[in-house]
Each structure stands twice: as structure tokens, then as C-alpha cells.
Structure 1
Amino acid sequence: MKKKTVSLLMTMALTAAMLAGCGSSETADTTAAADTAAAADTATADFDTEEDISVYSREDGSGTRGAFIELFGVEEKDANGEKIDNTTEDATITNNTSVMMTGVAGDDYAIGYVSLGSLNDTVKALKIDGVEPTVENIKSDSYKVYRPFNIATKGEVSEAAQDFIDYILSAEGQQIVSDEGYITIDDAAPAFAGGKASGSVTVAGSSSVSPVMEKLAEAYMKLNGNVKIEIQTSDSTTGMTSAIDGVCDIGMASRELKDTEADKLTATVIAQDGIAVVVNNNNPIDNLTKDQVKSIYVGETTSWSEVE
């Protein structure tokens, strides 16, 4: 697969910006911005739609993958009622959100998917069926690709773990959920009334839930320095297994619990999160239908010219 590079263009843009510095700062800023935009436009114009699509997916056990393949119909039931993941064998598998973002950002012809709360400008989020992936569009149910963030516990939890859970579900905790770009589950949550527990709490699981959980833990420990919270990042399935086995106090999953997990754990939704389908910033495509995304991920559509 041939790859395009814009290094020369970027060098030209930077040189132009430096020369403009001899004049006023306003002129320099304007010139630099114009040259950078021109370089970006040229890179987009150089995008070769005849190139193969580089499909990026998450590892087995990832809650984001589980939600993605379900919401886009990549997962289907066979004649025996068993769920089959039809993700193309040609997909590049990434083992966490960060690796997914880096992979797509570095591959002009890539497509991937990430938690909406983890999205940044290193990649471009596509509209799905003409709707942008935003918190507002998820709340209005116009953007359909979203899933719950769950925490799960086994049996009676420690005083410290329960106090932290109460904080997550409080007005203060839900404000952090909102500030981090996720969707709250209770806009009228009561103020936190605890903070007197002591001990340690281990939270393990989904790499999609981890960023907001780290913020929640940091804020809680500032409020209550007598509790130490450790976050162990892996994937949703590992998080649920760890909770079942007693390896952690609280498991994290970026999906609904499976029946085999729900039979042994108590799940609590702490937020809702969209799944953004992302491409390289040089890709001129801004919108795909759900059917087009499915076709790409099951290996039926293999070049960008087929989805124009």
C-alpha cells in the first residue's frame, strides 16, 4: 500500500511562517495560518481513493470492540444462535485506545473507532448517517452509536469502595463525567455526603473507562486522603473477570455485562459514551452510513473509491 507524505509541504509552510515574522505579528500569524491550511488542502487533494482501506480494530475482550461490532451489525448470530464477530481478518488489531488513535493518525488510509470522550484532533471523527458524534446528539438520540460505562462489584463491598462509588454517582462525580466529555446518567444527582472512609480500592478494566475513572479517583482522593485508589487498565472482559475472582474491588466495562458476568456481579452505569468512527485527517471523506461502516469492517468494501 503506498503512503502519502506531507513533510515537504509542512517544511514550506514553516519556512513561510518564519519569513513572515520579519513583519508584524498579525501578518506573521495570518501568513502561517494560510500556509498551513494550504498544505492541509494539498494533502487532502493528494489522497488517493484507489488505495486499500486500512482497517483498525480493537482486541478481543475490548468493551469498545464489543459495543462497536454490535451497534454496526458486524456481530451476527449464526444458525445456532451463537454470536459471530465478522471483523475482517485483514484488520490491524490495537490493544488500547491510545494505540488506536496513534495508528489511525499515522496512516492516511486508515479507519478506526474510539471512545468519544477520548477523541482529539489527531484524527477526524466522521458523521454517521449525516449526524456528528457529539454529546448533544447522543442526548437527543440523533447519534445512535453509544454505549454505557459500567462498574461492577461482587457481593458486599468495602466501606472505602462504597464511598468511592457514592462519589462517582454524586453531583460532584457526575460533574467530572460531564467535564471529561461523557454523558451523565443523573443531572439531578445529590451532593456527596461521604468522605469519611479509609482503606484502599483497586479498580480494573476497560481502557475506555480508565481516563474518566482516573479523574474521578484523583478528585475523590483530594477530598478524602484516607483512601488510596489504584487504577489498573486492561479491557472490559479482564475487568469483569478480575471482579469475579476478587482481584479488584471494582471492575470497569465499556459495554453491557454478558449474562455470565451479570450472574455473578452487580453492575452500575456511571456514564454513557459515544463511539466515534475515525479516519486520518488527510482523508476528505466526512460521512459514512452505518451500512458502509459495516461493509468496511466485514471486508466487503476494501478501497476508499467504493465509499465516495
Structure 2
Amino acid sequence: MKKILSVVLSVMMIITAVSALAFDAAGDITVISREDGSGTRGAFVELTGVEAKDADGNKVDHTTLDAEIVNGTSTVLTSVAADVQAIGYISMGSLNDTVKGVKIEGAEPTAENVVAGTYPIFRPFNLAFLGSVEEKSVVVQDFVKFILSDQGQKVVEEAGYIAVGDKPAYETMEGAEGKIVVGGSSSVTPVMEKLAEAYKAINDKVEIEIQLSDSSTGVTSAIDGVLDIGMASRALKDSELEKGVTPLVIANDGIALIVNLENTCDDLTVEQVRQIYVGEITSWGELAN
């Protein structure tokens, strides 16, 4: 009898656990957002209208105070994968099968749809240099030439991002050696790691150190001379440009809205995204009305 009771209790616990994981189509939305300084957040709030000018003409980020603020792309992915009611946003190139990418205005979050002009939420991936690229070391200049070459932009495309520029052929620099320190955006980091790996396969005497932080830290560290190259997953701000930093677009990337795999929401408008992130829509049921 005790064994039967134990089995019954175990089954009930399993059923309860499974029920707790079920998506509630009328339940509250868990809003996941990135930290201040994130280039992905900066681009996202601008492109979706979450950021708006106040009466004095100053830009204000109206992200709801109820949002859970997390650091880094991987943390957004983990948070949304663990919460059936959650919504978040990440670099499109980082989208994986642990979460579901939501269509925006009927368009799937793919590089092809960004190029076609049907997916509306996308931004540039920028490198940031204090002064001009030509003022940097020879090895830094050569790495930049590789990134913008046909070989480098092929790496960009294979990583799921959108290539830019004329893509000239890369001519190997004989005797390339030295160290390059790159740092900044967690969204740009994955493709930068692949670019560095491909470059070092050709120039094995060059060391490339990549420091992951966020866009604002990357740009500031480039201005301060801590980094040879800063990384930003957004356009550079006027206040940054005024300090003598030069931007260089190396790729374009969509921003994907993601939900839990159990979530039945498949498509949102840009206006619905804005309403969710400013707190005007707080439950999944409101989207069906």
C-alpha cells in the first residue's frame, strides 16, 4: 500500500511540475531586457519606439520598470528558455533552438529577410577606433582589411550575419605578427571570434585578444587607448564621435524577438513590441484582442 501511495504521489508531483511549465496564453508577460550600455538595447529601443523624445527634445528610454534586466546575449537566451511567459531580444546571429524567434510584421527573423527589406528591426555592427584606422599598427590595419575582404565577409555570412561593402580580395601580409586587443559588445563578439580564428589561420604569429563587455564599454575603452579596436552593436553616438572615435561597419544584424518554445505567439507588429516593452501590454491575452 505504501509503495502504491508513493507511486501515486510521484506521478502527481510530475503532473504538477509539467503543468507549472505549461504556457498560459492569458498570463502575464515576463519582459526581459538588456542592461544600460548594451548596444543591442540602444538599437532595439530606438528601432521599436520604446525610446522617445521628451518635451525638451531629450531621448528617453521608456522600458518598463517591471522588466528583468540581464547582462549579455547568453543570459537573455537562458532567461527566456527557462521562463514560459518570457519575451526577450537578441542578436539575430545568436538565435538558436533553445528559444523561438517571433515573426515581426509577418517576416521571419532571418538575414535574407533583412536584406529583402521585410524584417524591420536591424542595426549595424561597428568597430570603433581612436583616430583613423590608418593611424593604427600595421597588423591592426591588416586585420581590418581581412574583415572587409571577400574572405572576411564570407565568415560574416556563414555566421548568420549580413555582409557589407565591396568585399575585395584579401592579400596576405608577409611577416604579420603582433598583438591586437579587441573588446566590447556581446552581440559582436561571436562573429569577431570567428573572424579572429580565420585570420590567425592565415597569420599564425598574430595574437588577438577579445574582451567581452558591452558596446559603451568597448567604445570608451577604445577612446581611452585600452583597446586597439572597440566593438559596438549600434551606431556610434554623437558624444562618442566628438571624442575622436572613428566607426567602421563590418556587418549588419537583425534583432530577433524571442519567446519560450512553449509559447504559442508566432507573430508581432513593431507597435505591439513597443507596447510590451513600455508596459502598455502586460499579458499575452491582450495580444489576441
Q: Same fold per TM (> 0.5)?
A: yes
Alignment-derived partner of residue 256 in structure 1: 235
Structure 2: runs of 5 or more not aligned: 1-12
Deviating 4+ runs (over 2 angstroms): 194-197
1:148 to 124, 128, 152: 124
- 1:74 & 1:137 partners in 2: Cα distance? 23
Do the aligned residues in 1 keep the contact of 2:25 with 2:264 (CA within 8 Å)? no
The equivalences for 1:166-185 within 5 A come to: 166-185=145-164
Do the aligned residues in 2 keep the contact of 1:127 with 1:286 (CA within 8 Å)? yes
1:195 to 173, 192, 198: 173
Give 3-state SS (helix, strand or coil) of 2:77's partner.
helix
Give 3-state SS (helix, strand or coil) of 1:191's partner.
coil
Q: Deviations over 1:272-299 (max 9, x none)?
A: 0000000001001101111111111001
1:135 aligns with 2:115: no
The alpha carbon displacement at 1:195 in A equals 3.1
The equivalences for 1:71-220 within 5 A come to: 71-155=47-131, 156-186=135-165, 188-196=166-174, 197-220=176-199
Alignment-derived partner of residue 15 in structure 1: none
Q: Deviations over 1:120-144 (max 9, x none)?
A: 0111110111111111110011111
- 1:43 & 1:145 partners in 2: Cα distance? 33
Alignment-derived partner of residue 8 in structure 2: none
- 1:119 & 1:294 partners in 2: Cα distance? 21
The alpha carbon displacement at 1:49 in A equals 2.2
The alpha carbon displacement at 1:270 in A equals 0.2
- 2:58 & 2:112 partners in 1: Cα distance? 35
- 1:195 & 1:8 partners in 2: Cα distance? 62
Do the aligned residues in 1 keep the contact of 2:99 with 2:260 (CA within 8 Å)? yes
CA RMSD of aligned residues (A): 1.7
Alignment-derived partner of residue 264 in structure 2: 284
- 1:279 & 1:173 partners in 2: Cα distance? 32
- Percent identity, aligned pairs only, is 58
Give 3-state SS (helix, strand or coil) of 2:127's partner.
strand
Alignment-derived partner of residue 282 in structure 2: 302
Matched residue count: 270
Calculate the TM-score normalised by the size of structure 2: 0.90
The alpha carbon displacement at 1:50 in A equals 2.6
The alpha carbon displacement at 1:8 in A equals 4.3
Do the aligned residues in 2 keep the contact of 1:159 with 1:198 (CA within 8 Å)? no
Q: Which moved more, 1:261-270 or 1:62-71?
A: 261-270
Calculate the TM-score normalised by the size of structure 1: 0.85
Q: Deviations over 1:72-101 (max 9, x none)?
A: 000001111111000001111110000000
Structure 1: runs of 5 or more not aligned: 1-6, 12-38
Q: Deviations over 1:216-237 (max 9, x none)?
A: 0011111101210000010000
The equivalences for 1:18-97 within 5 A come to: 46-97=22-73
For 1:214, give the aligned amino acid.
E
1:225 to 194, 204, 208: 204
Do the aligned residues in 1 keep the contact of 2:32 with 2:86 (CA within 8 Å)? yes
For 2:220, give the aligned amino acid.
T
